[in-house]
Structure 1
């Protein structure tokens, strides 16, 4: 299970890291994530220029997050379902439950830097270095994921948990083998907000629609005894199609989401 900072601890961590980083400056080189430049102007210099990346900045720029557990002396970073723990005393790195040998993190002015090759161990990520430029490609650069992110931002959808494909079957009953591509986001907190967009394989549309309707029905059932607002949203959730594409949307503005979906998959 993922763990989260208390609001006070999160604020303290953000303040300490951001203040130190802004005061220092000096990160050498450039970083792009899915073709978009990462703002490194406020970061301190890394101990290994051009081959180390500021992990918190990368995570947050790719819809992930960072947390700090002072009682454990460790920091936590989530990148598209990949979990990274860093020991703040030794720099030891743990990725998805496995210790990473031959790689250690470094710390400058409160900023955690990790070797760029760590990103190539993350599922769905690649990172390349050319001269002083680091180019990172992530699953969030895929077309349907980008469309889902655009809808989430436009209608302020409270869905930010992006499960791994293996988790879609285990926890949500969605058989990813029926899709050519699928992007799904579920609520992190007590909310019904959900979006799933997929390109469906030939002959699988009816089965996929049934699975998505089952997700909507289970969401409705989970709120039937309390919280009328998410219950109403779940009741009004819709499964819609456009050609080979399908979307489940549970939100406060389904009409806008559906129009964006249909316009987006045409492209």
Structure 2
């Protein structure tokens, strides 16, 4: 049998439901050279692995796109600039677009065994939630879920460092790093930390607004979360136009940082 006949024989056998081992035996019985069999089987396995990987990638992209479209259909996140305002009582937040329209509300639930921050539209309908992965989450691992489907949108991982607040945004399916979030001024963070250690004196450095940079894993700027001088926390979230990260991931990450870091 020549190479073309071997390929056709393999396709016919696979169509009939043959396994790779059965296919190998069938080729041996037809007197095909052992080296050709090994080459054909190796090519077959490689082709099957590529096809399986391609199917899984399409499924993952479809799930992510579906969840993203569901959320975007319920709230307007088409803009690139948002204002995040903390309300006076507890960790409650309102998120406004550039037209000063309320697009989302969020609140950190207290007295819960696991950290939980639901995000609601202007009609108080829960759209997505940030939930801690464990009851006592010392590692700082959280996941953003679509409320309707229960599908994970993105993972938020907190990294503890002395001089910076650092977070990582990861793909919920593959845990692949998508973006990094970190405070921009390590000197200010150091002064804040020292101020917290001094008893009986107010920590004036705590009133200096926080600013965070959000970068892709390649180091390209995705967005900036800039704190404003105010009694309550107010942030401006400015998003670069060219990026593939869902905006609900950026907004939920911004809220989670302020609430969970105790800013």
TM-score (norm: length of structure 1): 0.22
Q: Which of 1 and 2 has greater Rg?
A: 2
TM-score normalized by the length of structure 2: 0.22
